[in-house]
């Protein structure tokens, strides 16, 4: 399997029940470096409870995986043997990996609907 960012391809080597991913080539990753993730471990065989948010060990620190809208990537959203493309981003002292080709999950839709308010435009007329 190849991708256009092979020098930045990170394959999973371990997954914990808490959603912590260990990956290959996890050190010396700089701000805004391309980060391609290949999930090689089936999360359903490890995480047997409700889905949890993924974190990935980068530069010896656990950082969250988020989608392009900033939502946490849950363990029910990624498939094995698919390359997810993104970037490692550091803002101030906070770091995360943003993946841009993650499908929208049911938990994201529920959170979006709950956070969205509707207004009655006829009110006050």
pLDDT in tens, 19-75: 999 999 999 999 999 999 999 999 999 999 999 999 999 999 999 999 999 999 999
In a domain, 121, yes or no: no
Please check the confidence at residue 108 and state whether its pLDDT lies above 80: no
CA 94 from centre of chain: 15
In a domain, 10, yes or no: yes
In a domain, 1, yes or no: no
CA dist list (Å): 94 to 60, 67, 88: 14, 16, 11
Q: What is the dihedral of CA 103, 109, 112, 116, to 10 degrees?
A: 140
In a domain, 13, yes or no: yes
pTM: 0.78
In a domain, 38, yes or no: yes
Into how many domains does the chain fold?
1
Strand partners, 15: 21
Nearest to 56 by CA among 87, 97, 17, 107: 97
In a domain, 42, yes or no: yes
In a domain, 11, yes or no: yes
Distance CA 20, CA 57 (A): 7
Range of the domain at 75: 6-115
In a domain, 123, yes or no: no
């Amino acid at each position: 399997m190849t991708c256009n960012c092979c020098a930045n391809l990170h394959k999973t080597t371990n997954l914990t029940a808490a959603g912590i991913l260990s990956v290959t080539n996890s050190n010396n990753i700089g701000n805004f470096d391309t980060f391609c993730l290949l999930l090689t471990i089936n999360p359903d065989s490890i995480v047997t409870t409700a889905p949890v948010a993924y974190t990935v060990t980068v530069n010896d620190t656990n950082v969250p995986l988020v989608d392009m809208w900033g939502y946490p990537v849950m363990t029910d959203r990624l498939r094995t043997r698919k390359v997810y493309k993104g970037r490692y981003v550091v803002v101030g002292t906070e770091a995360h990996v943003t993946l841009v080709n993650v499908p929208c999950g049911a938990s994201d839709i529920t959170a979006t609907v709950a956070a969205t308010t509707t207004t009655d435009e006829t009110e006050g007329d």
